[in-house]
Each structure stands twice: as structure tokens, then as C-alpha cells.
Amino acid sequence: MSELQQGFPGDPQISALYREHAREEPSAAVDDRILAAARAAVSAAAPAARRTWWQRWRATLALATTLVLTLSLSLLHERQPDDRRREAEVAAPPQPVAPGVSPAAVARDVAVPAAAPAAAPAVTAEPAVGSNAAAAADASAPGAAPRQPASGERLGGQRAAPPAGESGPRPSAGDWSHPGGSVAAKREEATAAALPPVAKESPAVPLATTAAPAVAGVAPEAAAPGQVPAARQQAPAGEKARAADLRRADDWLEEIRALRRAGRSAEAARQLADFRRAHPDYPLPEEFRQ
């Protein structure tokens, strides 16, 4: 026995005899298997222990990043269809261009009525708005959404006019950050501004329903089924009145003609004066130059 200790009942003779003849050993194959398993266990554990923080967590981080990106894109796509529909509402109505009227003038027609109500004081109160709108319209390509000067000024210049050549008012990054759909409200205003005046909403022109063939031609095109009426319903009463004032120049002139034909010369002259203030660059037909 290797360690004889106090009280250990050992027998050195038996021990020596036993050790002398104890020769059995495991087979070499068993030895090889055990040693191979021991080395494999160490070599398999070594790379895992040597991995850095980044190596251990990069798969998790990559997965988390992918999820965040996917979620963000999904949310953006979820909001985009409505926005595109509104863009279509704003940009879709083809403006019937009267012979001899330039596209820029058409753009002004769309933009100016927002700041040019039928009432003369309102028009005179904002003479500069029309020129701003004209400048914006000049900068915009035909078919581009008209800039809404009044609303732009209300927003304190937060939104710049779309660059020339842009096919439509794409939402900028800042638009998405507006909570509560303020952009949508602006777009609805613009939609209302682009609409031709509805005769029954224009108290000053009782004959307008029969007067303007262009109006009759434009209205069905401008009003997408079920969309424009809905926008009108949503607009407050004040905005409806303003939308009624945002008449296009040729319609306005047609109304003035109707007034003259009806013998209401004084009112026709007043309307014409308002028209000249609102559209100083509009080439008047021969009959109104006298």
C-alpha cells in the first residue's frame, strides 16, 4: 500500500505480491479513443472560448437590425397608398387650357384663387401673394402640383416648393414627421383649391350653372368618383366658401360675360376690376379691354 498510516491495517507482503503480478491494462484501442475524445473536447471548446464579444453577438445584432429595418419599411408602405391617392387627387385634374393661355397662366389660375377670394378687400389685402404664386408656378413644370402660397405661409415656410421636373408632390422627410396628418390637411386644401367653382356655392353668380361649358367639362374629370365629394364634406364651412372663390380665370370671365348679358353692368365692372387685380398678367379678351 502506498500510504501506510496510523491504524492502517496494511500487509506489505500481500501488497508487494499483488503489485508484482498486476499487469493487466486497457487495450491500445481504448487508449486511443479516450485520448482522442479528450483532445476533441478541448479543441472544440477552444474556439468558443476565444470568440470576441462581436463574434458572439453579431448574429443577434444583425437579426435585430434586419427586424427594425423591415418594420420601418412596412410602416412606410402602410402609409404610402393613402398619400399617393391624395397626390393623384391633387395632380390628376387636367387643366383645360384656353386657346392662347400659357401653361404658366394655368398654373397661376390654380394657385392664385387660394389667396384671392371673391371679395375685393381680401384680394387687395394680399396683393403679393399672387406674385408669389406666379413665381412658384413659373418654377413648377406643367402638371406639377401647384404650390399653395397661403398654406405655405401659414406653415412658416416649412415646406419648400417642389423642384422643377418633379412629377408630383412627393412627401418629403419632414412631411412624415408631422403628426396628426397636417400634411393631409394641406393636401385637402390644395385639392379644394384646384377644383372649379361650383355654381350653387357661388352666391355672386346665379347664372354660373349654365354659363361655363368648360366648367361642365372639367368638373367630372376633376372629381374622382367618391373622392372629391368626400373631401368637400370634410372641409369646414369657411374653406368651402374660400374654395368657391378660387375660380379659374376663364370661368370668372365667363361669369362676367353672363353678368353683362343680364344687364348687370355695374356688377360686371366690379367683377372685372377684381379680376384685373387678381390676374394682372392675364391677356384679356377684346371685349373686356374697352
Residues within the interface to other proteins (CB under 8 A) = 1-3, 5, 7-11, 13-15, 17-19, 21-27, 30-31, 33-35, 37-39, 41-43, 45-46, 49
Q: Which is nearer to other proteins, 17 or 73 (CB)?
A: 17
Q: Which is nearer to other proteins, 35 or 64 (CB)?
A: 35
Q: Which is nearer to other proteins, 40 or 125 (CB)?
A: 40
CB of 42 to other proteins, least distance (A): 5
CB of 50 to other proteins, least distance (A): 10
CB of 7 to other proteins, least distance (A): 7
CB of 34 to other proteins, least distance (A): 5
Q: Which is nearer to other proteins, 9 or 220 (CB)?
A: 9
Q: Which is nearer to other proteins, 45 or 69 (CB)?
A: 45
Which residues have C-beta within 8 Å of that of residue 1, sequence separation ≥ 6? 8, 10, 12, 15
The C-alpha atoms of residue 186 and residue 148 are separated, in whole angstroms, by 8
Q: Long-range CB contacts (< 8 A, 24+ apart) of 216-221? A: 217/96, 218/93, 218/95, 218/96, 221/93, 221/94
